[in-house]
Structure 1
Amino acid sequence: MDILLTNIWRFFDPMLFGLVLGSVLIMAWVQNGRRSIVRAVVALANWGRDPFEESGENATYMCRRIDFTLRQQGLAGLETVRSQDAFVLRILGYLVNAKDSKSFEEWVRLEEHAAETRQNISASYWFSAAEIAPAIGLIGTITGLIQLFATGIDPLKMGPAMSFTLLTSLYGLFISHIIAFPIYVRLHSRAEILNAYRSKVVHHTINIANLELADVAPVHFVPVKPTKRDA
């Protein structure tokens, strides 16, 4: 342990670590799309806490609050409902102004899918980084070994060269298991909480729309008879 602490500086090469980390982030970005890296970095602001830990908000609470407001103030009163989740406020605002239940259901399903995709992409990015990092480190190690043996083995220089080469594998494992995977676990857990919460609220608002809004009958189009001019 004393040897490790005394030589701790040998385990950190800022330039090499930055090269491995940058390669991992770029490859994860290539796998998950052009906006994934922005969402993944922004998600780090709240990755360590649950979505509603301060307010204690949950799906059951929100559905009951929506029902209470509906009984007391009618459909228009739903705009006064407050939530920590901007997604819920958006669908309630749309429900108040929706013309029929069918169009509302179609819209809210699309919004739910888009919100779920945005939540999952941050976690997917860090999962990709955790998978890629060991491979990037191994590629660096193999590349260094090839270069080492290609230029000849000098016993006096072999130790430092091997140390430098093996650091890439160390950094790959460190980025994967100490940085990327723990972040993925937290973001995935957070996404599951939010997606389950939103799914229940969406299902509840669709039921309200079916009861409160008129259901427009499907439109049947009659083919136009060809005229003499068309013929």
Structure 2
Amino acid sequence: MDILLTNIWRFFDPVLFGVVLGCVLIMAWIQNGRHSIIRGFAALGNSSGNPFEASGENATYMCRRIDFILREQGLSGLETLHSEDAFVTRILHHLVDAKDSKSFEEWVHLEEHVAETKQNMAASYWLSAAEIAPAIGLIGTITGLIQLFATGIDPLKMGPAMSFTLLTSLYGLFISHIIAFPIYVRLHARAEVLHAYRSKVVQHTVNIAIRELDAVSPVHFVPANPIKNNV
């Protein structure tokens, strides 16, 4: 332990660490698409806890609020109802302006899919980074070893040179298991909470649309063909 603490400065090369980290982030960005790196870093600000931990909001609570407003104020009253999740607020406002249950159901399921894809993109970015980082580190190590032996370096100087080369593998493992994968686990857990919450609220609003919108929709009757009496 004393040896590690005394020589800890040997384990950190900011330039080499920056090169490995940059390669990992770029490769994960290429793998997941142009918006993934933005979503991946933007999600870090909201990844510290449960999205509804402070407000105590959950699907059952929101569905009961929707039913209460619907009973007291009618369908138009849902415009005044707001959620901690902007997605839920948006679908409630759209429900008020919906023309029929079929079009609303198609729209809300499409919006749910888009929101889920965006939510998962951030977690997928960091999962890709966790998977890529060891490979980037190993590539750096192998490249360094090839260059090391190709130059015919003095055996007395080979130790420090190999130490520098092996740092790329160390940094790859560090980025993967200490940085990227824990972030992925946190973002994935948050995405599951949001998806479960949204799915229940979406199904509840679809049921309301079927009950409320179809009940007030005009019924179109097709007149029967007149019966001709044969004389």
Deviations along 1:67-106, one digit per CA (max 9) or x if unpaired, are 0110000000011112100000000000000111111011
Gaps of 5+ in 2: 220-231
Question: Is structure 2 residue 130 aligned with structure 1 residue 103?
Answer: no
Q: Which residue of 1 aligns with 2:156?
A: 156
Q: Which residue of 2 aligns with 1:63?
A: 63
**TM-score, normalised via structure 2 length:** 0.92
Answer whether contact 1:58 1:197 (CA < 8 A) is retained: yes
How far 1:158 moved relative to its partner? 0.3
Question: Is structure 2 residue 13 aligned with structure 1 residue 13?
Answer: yes
Question: Is structure 2 residue 216 aligned with structure 1 residue 212?
Answer: no
- The SS at the match of 1:45 is helix
CA distance in 1: counterparts of 2:29 and 2:59, whole angstroms:
33
Question: Is structure 2 residue 36 aligned with structure 1 residue 26?
Answer: no
Q: Which residue of 1 aligns with 2:223?
A: none
How far 1:153 moved relative to its partner? 3.2
Question: Is structure 2 residue 64 aligned with structure 1 residue 86?
Answer: no
- The SS at the match of 1:56 is coil
Q: Which residue of 1 aligns with 2:142?
A: 142
- The SS at the match of 1:49 is coil
Q: Which residue of 1 aligns with 2:76?
A: 76
Report how many aligned residue pairs link the two structures.
217
Q: Which residue of 1 aligns with 2:118?
A: 118
**TM-score, normalised via structure 1 length:** 0.92
How far 1:207 moved relative to its partner? 0.3
- The SS at the match of 1:152 is coil
CA distance in 2: counterparts of 1:52 and 1:154, whole angstroms:
61
Answer whether contact 1:100 1:216 (CA < 8 A) is retained: no
CA distance in 2: counterparts of 1:49 and 1:17, whole angstroms:
29
Q: Which residue of 2 aligns with 1:200?
A: 200
CA distance in 2: counterparts of 1:194 and 1:216, whole angstroms:
37
Gaps of 5+ in 1: 218-231
Identity %: 81
Q: Which residue of 1 aligns with 2:169?
A: 169
Answer whether contact 1:39 1:121 (CA < 8 A) is retained: yes
Q: Structure 1 residue runs of 4+, over 6 Å off?
A: none
Paired amino acid for 2:111: E
CA distance in 2: counterparts of 1:47 and 1:133, whole angstroms:
22
* RMSD, aligned CA: 1.1
How far 1:216 moved relative to its partner? 8.4
Answer whether contact 1:79 1:96 (CA < 8 A) is retained: yes
How far 1:47 moved relative to its partner? 1.0
The change in CA–CA distance for 1:44 and 1:216 in structure 2 (over 3 A counts) is farther
CA distance in 2: counterparts of 1:88 and 1:69, whole angstroms:
15
